[in-house]
């Protein structure tokens, strides 16, 4: 198999390196590969352009510290410099521009700055202990708007005056208190009380008249009620409207389990509340409110007219469960599972591409909503005349709406929406005028489109896509009116990109299997790229790492092919009757078979070590993985672990047939979802895998979180069979092969109780050859090198003991 000598593949380093080059022939050892990864070199993080477009900023993790240092590089010359504290004070943040590009704004150290683009003059707009966020220019460009939490402010460029765009009070209006019968009686009896009330009313009326006549006054507050709490607010660029997302204030979030810190600064055990379990409390619904900032009026935006909102997509499952409960005499439980008349909603988080978006002129707004059961997603525009939502696009998924591919926005005409949708089975880009038809902007095909970025002139969309092959990602562009995708970059491992302020250049983050993200620049129309960074260190690049071979494994269950990464010896003839190990990636919905660098860089080095010791390794993008379309993603609906196990067994058969692997000497390991699959593999297919290591594994899905789990398995009260079919603990009686369980004791994602409970189950079943290793100072993602070493030392010893490689 091909091997990579990385020092021959990377351009000259523009940054200082500290590690001495290691001999390319030096064998790997566990101490090195599980050490603090500073010896490898940092990935380039968070690049952005300077306001004038002549420089790029990016961050690098500092050796021996979690601190990120800020660097500045000249794209033309390629010279980088680390900014010291003085230079940091004069740095810029990621900038936004007004519609004419005369002014720019950014946030630096939590404060807002304004820049005159022509002169370069810089004005600090705020200097507060708060963290101001999301600057945006008004539609006319004469004001700069920004927020502090859910409070919006407007800075007038001409006067330099800052004022709140609206004052929100989540309490009942004290002036709107209605007088009851007893109060009316008092007013009727006492003249003085009537006079006091009349004076207050007169003062309030006069204040309203003055507010309306004088724009220099702070407007009166909006009293939004004491029973609501704010979730988010969004101000229109024209300053006329504000949309407010609220949730009930006193929602019962359910009983929170606790995790225990045993090794502490105080010397005492310290408990910590963790997240609640799925189905133990209904997620809080959200509602929308429209505020007219000019006429000081507020309107509830009702959602009960959205198409399909009154449907019950779970009717069949619900009816079966209700019948079973009633038959068992559990009428109260059955009543609690009755379908709502109108399904509750949330506004899809902006972190997932959703939220609220305004057109540049502020005349139109769109909101992305989804039902709490996550079977429907709507993009709705706002009718400001009738104070109502108008559905523009509805996406229904009988399994669950994807957590990705939810980006949307407005074209530059301010009347045409664009959005990503899986409606074709793959994420593609579409547009729709408010009162018109849908247009597919990207061609149909079995590939995913993501990261849509509309150029400032409104002519092009730049996107990330794997059109060439599922594992190969690059930047493409397509006209805003639709058409063919044109390839812009040629990395095959493109991770992210940023357009320059003038739209002529593209900053690109790219990586490869053993090279963390690096920064390059090229013209936005395509062409040769200039590499700007090389942060990988000689001790790492000098090693002859195994280039993973991407292979296609036929599915015996009608799923097509399963893409995988194969790690084996340079001389395949040596592979006869070797043992094999499966690495199973985590998250479920994640793509690990790509030409980019991997999140699992330690595991990848461990896979190299395994090959060095005589194993071959297979890393599969089993069904449920990202990058292969909606059907691949949702194959696990109500049956987590079932299609994936079929894929692993197909992978094993492929190894036996094509690489002479001994079927009696195959192991499996993975963390999180990979740990879950390890337990599933040993418990649902006993005898197929000679040993397994399950790291931080969810062994019982009833104790995982709500949003992830209920999307795939529904609620446990409504669909108990899905949980029973999907949870390893339900199959504990089948354990016959050696199983190593490892878990961080302060894991607040998959809690250690999952591993401890299945361990106790094995104890009570009188099972043999199972072990547990607990790490008192680790959460879900391990951070400490000693624990990484101990964890993988044990995994290596497990495989060496039960798979018996031919050499060590």
For range 739-745, the mean pLDDT: 98
- What is the band of 10 on the pLDDT scale with cuts at 50, 70, 90? very low
> Which class for 774: exposed (0-12), middle (13-18), buried (19 or more C-beta within 10 A)?
middle
Summarised one tens digit per residue, pLDDT across range 636-665 is 999 999 999 999 999 999 999 999 999 999
Q: Which residues, other chains included, contact 386 with Cβ-Cβ below 8 Å and sequence gap of 6+? A: none
Retrieve residue 806's tokens.
């031919």
Cα(234)–Cα(243) distance, integer angstroms: 5
Of the pLDDT bands very low, low, confident and very high (cuts 50, 70, 90), residue 805 is confident
Q: What is the residue-averaged pLDDT of the chain?
A: 94
Taking the mean position of all CA atoms in its chain, how far away is CA 248?
25
pLDDT higher than 60, residue 13: no
pLDDT at 211: 76
CB 210: neighbour CB atoms within 10 A?
10
Question: Residue 390 forms beta bridges with which residues?
Answer: 381
Gyration radius of the chain over CA positions: 29
- The whole-number pLDDT of residue 217 equals 74
Give the separation between CA 792 and CA 566, rounded to whole angstroms.
20
Q: What is the pTM of this model?
A: 0.93
Q: What is residue 807's predicted lDDT score, i.e. its pLDDT? A: 55
Considering only CA atoms, which of 498, 671, 691, 678 is closest in space to residue 592? 671
Distance from chain centroid for Cα 633: 16
Q: In this predicted model, what pLDDT tens digit does every residue of 515-572 receive, in sequence order?
A: 999 999 999 999 999 999 999 999 999 999 999 999 999 999 999 999 999 999 988 8
pLDDT band at 216 (very low <50, low <70, confident <90, very high): confident
Which of these, 732, 720, 727, lies nearest to 704 by C-alpha position? 727
Question: 3-state secondary structure string, 214-279?
Answer: CCCCCCCCEECCCCEEEEEEEECCCCCEEEEEEEECCCCCCCCCEEEECCCCCCCCEEEECCCCCC
The dihedral through the CA atoms of 183, 187, 190, 195 has a sign that is positive
3-state helix, strand, coil in the chain (%, to 5): 25, 30, 45
Q: What is the pLDDT of residues 23-52, one digit of tens each?
A: 445 899 999 999 999 999 999 999 999 999
Assess contact for 238 and 139: CB atoms under 8 A. yes
Q: Residue 6's pLDDT band (boundaries 50, 70, 90)?
A: very low
The H or E element spanning position 626 is: none
Instruction: Tell me the C-alpha to C-alpha distance, in Å, between residue 452 and each of 42, 45, 224, 354, 601.
Output: 27, 20, 36, 13, 28
116/144 Cα distance (integer angstroms): 12
Do residues 288 and 245 lie in contact, with contact meaning Cβ atoms separated by under 8 Å?
yes
């Amino acid at each position: 198999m091909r091997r990579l000598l990385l020092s021959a593949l990377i351009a000259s380093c523009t940054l200082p390196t500290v590690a001495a080059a290691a001999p390319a022939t030096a064998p790997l050892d566990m101490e090195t590969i599980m050490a603090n990864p500073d010896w490898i070199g940092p990935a380039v993080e968070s690049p952005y352009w300077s306001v004038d477009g002549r420089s790029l900023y990016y961050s690098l993790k500092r050796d021996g510290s979690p601190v990120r240092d800020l660097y500045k590089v000249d794209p033309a010359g390629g010279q980088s410099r680390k900014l010291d504290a003085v230079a940091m004070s004069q740095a810029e943040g990621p900038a936004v521009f007004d519609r004419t590009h005369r002014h720019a704004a950014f946030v630096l150290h939590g404060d807002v700055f304004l820049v005159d683009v022509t002169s370069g003059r810089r004005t600090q707009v705020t200097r507060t202990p708060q963290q101001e966020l999301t600057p945006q220019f008004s539609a006319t460009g004469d004001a700069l708007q920004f927020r502090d939490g859910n409070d919006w402010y407007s800075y007038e460029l001409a006067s330099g005056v800052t004022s709140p765009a609206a004052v929100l009070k989540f309490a009942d209006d004290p002036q709107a208190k209605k007088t009851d019968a007893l109060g009316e009686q008092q007013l009727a009896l006492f003249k003085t009380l009537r006079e006091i009330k009349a004076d207050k009313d007169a003062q309030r009326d006069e204040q309203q008249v003055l507010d309306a006549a004088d724009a220099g006054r702070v407007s009166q507050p909006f009293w939004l009620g004491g029973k609501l709490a704010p979730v988010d607010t969004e101000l229109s660029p024209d300053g006329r409207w504000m949309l407010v997302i609220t949730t009930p204030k006193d929602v019962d979030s359910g009983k929170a389990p606790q995790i225990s810190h045993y090794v502490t600064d105080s010397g005492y055990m310290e408990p910590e509340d963790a997240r609640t379990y799925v189905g133990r409390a209904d997620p809080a619904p959200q509602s929308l409110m429209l505020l007219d900032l000019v006429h000081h009026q507020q309107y509830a935006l009702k959602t009960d007219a959205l198409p399909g909102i009154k449907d019950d997509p779970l009717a069949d499952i619900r009816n079966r469960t209700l019948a079973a409960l009633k038959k068992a005499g559990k009428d109260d439980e059955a009543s609690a599972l009755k379908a709502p008349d109108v399904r509750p909603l949330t506004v899809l988080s902006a972190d997932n591409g959703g939220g609220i978006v305004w057109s540049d002129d502020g005349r139109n707004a769109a909101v992305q909503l989804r039902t709490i059961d996550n079977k429907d997603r709507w993009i709705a525009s706002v009718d400001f005349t009738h104070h109502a939502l108008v559905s523009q696009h509805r996406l229904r998924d009988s399994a669950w709406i994807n957590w990705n591919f939810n980006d949307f926005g407005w074209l530059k005409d301010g009347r045409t929406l664009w959005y990503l949708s899986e409606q074709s089975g793959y994420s593609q880009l579409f547009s729709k005028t408010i009162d018109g038809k849908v247009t597919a902007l990207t061609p149909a095909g079995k590939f995913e489109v993501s990261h849509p970025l509309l150029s400032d002139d409104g002519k092009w969309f730049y996107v990330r896509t794997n059109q060439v092959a599922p594992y190969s990602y690059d930047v493409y562009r397509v006209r805003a009116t639709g058409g063919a995708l044109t390839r812009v970059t040629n990395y095959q491992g493109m991770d992210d990109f940023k357009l320059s302020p003038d739209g002529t250049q593209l900053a690109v983050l790219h990586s490869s299997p053993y090279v963390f993200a690096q920064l390059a620049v090229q013209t936005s129309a395509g062409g040769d790229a200039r590499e700007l960074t090389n942060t990988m260190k000689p001790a790492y690049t000098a090693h002859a790492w195994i280039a993973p071979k991407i292979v296609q494994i036929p599915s015996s269950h009608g799923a097509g092919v399963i893409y995988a990464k194969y790690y084996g010896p340079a001389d395949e003839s040596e592979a006869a009757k070797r043992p094999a190990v499966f690495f199973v990636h985590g998250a479920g919905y994640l793509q690990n078979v790509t030409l980019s660098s991997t999140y699992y860089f330690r595991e990848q080095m461990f896979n190299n070590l395994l090959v060095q010791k005589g194993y071959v390794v297979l890393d599969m993008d089993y069904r449920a993985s990202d990058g292969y379309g909606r059907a691949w993603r949702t194959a696990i609906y109500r049956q987590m672990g079932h299609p994936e196990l079929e894929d692993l067994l197909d992978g094993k058969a492929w190894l036996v047939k094509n690489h002479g692997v001994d079927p009696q000497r195959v192991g499996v390991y993975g963390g999180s979802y990979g740990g879950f699959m390890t337990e599933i593999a040993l418990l649902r297919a006993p005898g197929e895998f000679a040993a397994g290591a399950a790291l931080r594994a969810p062994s019982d899905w009833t104790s995982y979180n709500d949003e992830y789990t209920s999307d795939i398995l529904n609620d446990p009260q409504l669909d108990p069979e899905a949980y029973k079919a999907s949870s390893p603990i339900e199959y504990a009686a089948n354990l016959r092969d050696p199983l190593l369980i490892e878990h961080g004791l302060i894991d607040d994602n998959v809690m250690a109780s999952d591993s401890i409970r299945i361990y106790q189950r094995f104890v009570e079943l009188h099972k043999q050859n199972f072990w547990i290793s607990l790490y008192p100072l680790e959460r879900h993602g391990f951070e400490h090198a000693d624990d990484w070493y101990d964890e993988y030392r044990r995994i290596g010893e497990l495989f060496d003991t039960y798979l018996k490689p031919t050499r060590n």
